[in-house]
Amino acid sequence: MALARISLLKAWRPVLAVSQVRMGGEYGSGAGSGGGTGGSIRDAGGAFGKMEAAHEEQYFRALQAEQLKALKKHHNDEIEAHESEIRRHEESIKRLKKRKDEIESDSD
């Protein structure tokens, strides 16, 4: 059984190597480059294909930056909420310690 697996892997190795080579190339340089076709303009390649690929990359970079900004804001809001809770708990602790001291002084 193990021998059969090894022979299968050896049989597929050249196919895997060829598929990796075929996917190479520059974004926007024609069909199949950069992960597949992206429409008729990118299929044609040339300057318009490269320009469209650049616009696509720019869009996703901007989207990622926006998501990162939203995540940072969310984390800051969470930190602020937790700090507020800490202050509230500290005030409760002070109040309870004061009551405890009052009770102890009254019982003396």
- Does pTM surpass 0.75? no
Which residue has 């970079």 as its token pair? 61
In this structure, how many other beta carbons lie within 10 angstroms of the beta carbon of residue 34?
20
Per-residue pLDDT of the chain (108 residues; tens, 9 = 90+): 455 555 555 555 554 444 444 445 666 555 555 555 656 666 666 888 788 889 999 999 999 999 999 999 999 999 999 999 999 999 999 999 999 999 999 876
